[in-house]
Amino acid sequence: MLFEFRGPAGRLEALLDEPAAGRTLDDHGAVHAGAPNGPRAAVVFGHPHPLYGGTMHTKAAYHAAKGLTRIGCAVLRFNFRGVGRSEGAFADGIGERDDFRAALDFLHDRYPQAPLWAAGMSFGSWVGLTVGAADERVSALIGVATPVDRYDFSQVGDSVKAKFFIHGERDEITSVHAIRRFYAQAAEPKELVVVDTADHVFDGKTSDVADAIEDLLVDWPELQDGGIAALREGRPQGLKDGSSEGAKEGSRD
């Protein structure tokens, strides 16, 4: 569903993906868990850097949203101020964080009973995860291609909220070694998946982002009582458990 909602700098263009009511198969044969009792979570997803072509249509962001929808989540993607039909102008991340807060407010009002999750890709992960770490309503943080050595993620690393990271093995913006260093120092609970041979925008690997999302979150938070470590078993082929060692953005879907 394409629509607009009110942000602090004017109208923000948005897309809302809602889960099916029951279990279904899509045109690609992917299983949708369905949400007969309403969405299992309401997720706001921030897109990559606007000055480098990032929009809510960035391919990996699109696939991440679809993966979340398949496990029963409602997902709001939106264009930050000055992108697409969104009003305003780029504001160095400060205004974009305000935009993300407005998106959380909108989604919480629409699904007041659903858990609220904050997610994003690259620049959008910095915006979304820092806002989400500080918002008491948000219970999970999801970062794709998270540029931990380009922005201050200390608030995210210190947060005791559940944190999920998906990163390309050959990310040329933030190396896999940098994300592993950050991950090693981050507070629990946490989980990191590294996608084999993927670059920063997951060129040719965007569907693996959706697979990783499903793998990490299909049974969460049900697995919380048994420990998040249970998620580190049984990775699909092409995905690696990144919990131990062994700038381009914005291609469109």
* pTM (predicted TM-score): 0.86
In this predicted structure, what is the pLDDT of residue 54? 98
Secondary structure element (H or E) that encloses residue 46, with its range: strand 42-46
Q: What is the pLDDT of residues 23-47, one digit of tens each?
A: 565 655 555 655 667 899 999 999 9
Residue 181: CATH number of its domain = 3.40.50.1820
Report the distance separating Cα 167 and Cα 169, nearest Å: 6
Number of domains into which the chain is organized = 1
* Domain, as residue range, for 182: 2-241
In this predicted structure, what is the pLDDT of residue 241? 62
In this predicted structure, what is the pLDDT of residue 71? 94
Q: Report residue 228: phi and psi, to 5°.
A: -65, -15
In this predicted structure, what is the pLDDT of residue 31? 55
Tell me the CA distances in angstroms from 245 to 158, 163, 195, 240, 242, one per residue in order.
21, 18, 14, 11, 7
Secondary structure element (H or E) that encloses residue 77, with its range: strand 74-78
- Contact (CB, 8 A) for 135 and 118: yes
Secondary structure class of 99 (helix, strand, coil): helix
Q: Look at residue 232 and tell me if it is in a domain.
A: yes
Q: Look at residue 250 and tell me if it is in a domain.
A: no
Report the distance separating Cα 152 and Cα 149, nearest Å: 8
Q: Look at residue 251 and tell me if it is in a domain.
A: no
